[in-house]
Amino acid sequence: MDYLALYVTLKLALITTILLMIIAAPVAYLLAYYRFPGKSLLEALVYLPMALPPTVIGFYLIIVMSPKGFVGRIWETFTGGSLLFTFLGITIASIIYSIPFAVQPMKAAFSKIDRRLLEASYVLGLSKRATFLRVIIPNSLSGIAAAAVLVFLHSIGAFGVLLMVGGSIPGETKVASIAIYEAVETMNYSAAGMIALSFIPISYAFLLLINRLNEDSRT
């Protein structure tokens, strides 16, 4: 069994989840609490990766990350290397691919918090930032956890985006879903079956966790 591919998948999903939680929290805060011109445009842009075919996202990421692309060029001047076909490249791809799944549940959790709690916190002398950390975050933990689980599950399932941006380099960019695809291509059904089977308990356990979190947030 291709343990290396499974390892890359889990590493990628874990790093994506952690980074995305940090990136998505301020975006969700902005969308939940502020009104500003162009907000609906920004919101639609944040959710766009959910509505686009993964290969379309992958295509544009190749354009941007290639040595001639905007991000790729900057990266090359500073590091001398390429972003395409690297673990970092697929991490960026994976983050963009999963952004909507992090922002949406977090925004929902933040909007559910009673505005008066925030006002009480301001009157008690806490800055907006301190209020975010001491009032908003602790009162939306189940929403944040749900977002994390969704992002994790979505990341382990990524295929098209990663294949386009990262190719299939063992130990670097070859994730489990790509390993399954390649095993099937070479008619190696038993290898594909082993990896595929390992996904079922992982996904099932996480789904149970989501249900549990949803129940918690309802009570």
In the complex, the residues that contact another protein under the rule CB under 8 A are 114, 116-117, 119-127, 134-135, 138-139
Nearer to another protein, 36 or 78 (CB): 36
- Helix, strand, coil in percent for the chain, rounding step 5: 80, 0, 20
Which C-beta is closer to another protein: that of 38 or that of 125? 125
Residue 123: CB minimum distance to another protein, A? 5
- Cβ atoms of 216 and 43 closer than 8 Å: no
Task: Return the number of the residue (122 or 181) whose C-beta is nearest another protein.
Answer: 122
In angstroms, how far apart are the furthest CA atoms of the chain?
Answer: 67
User: How far is residue 184 CA from its own chain's centroid?
Assistant: 27
Shortest spacing between CB 73 and another protein, in angstroms: 44
Query: What is the smallest separation between the CB atom of 134 and another protein, expressed in angstroms?
Result: 8
**Shortest distance, position 120 Cβ to another protein, whole Å:** 4
> Rounded to an integer, what distance in angstroms lies between the CA atom of residue 125 and that of residue 137?
18
User: Cβ distance 13 to 199 under 8 Å?
Assistant: no
Nearest to 54 by CA among 178, 179, 169, 165: 165
Q: Which is nearer to another protein, 18 or 124 (CB)?
A: 124
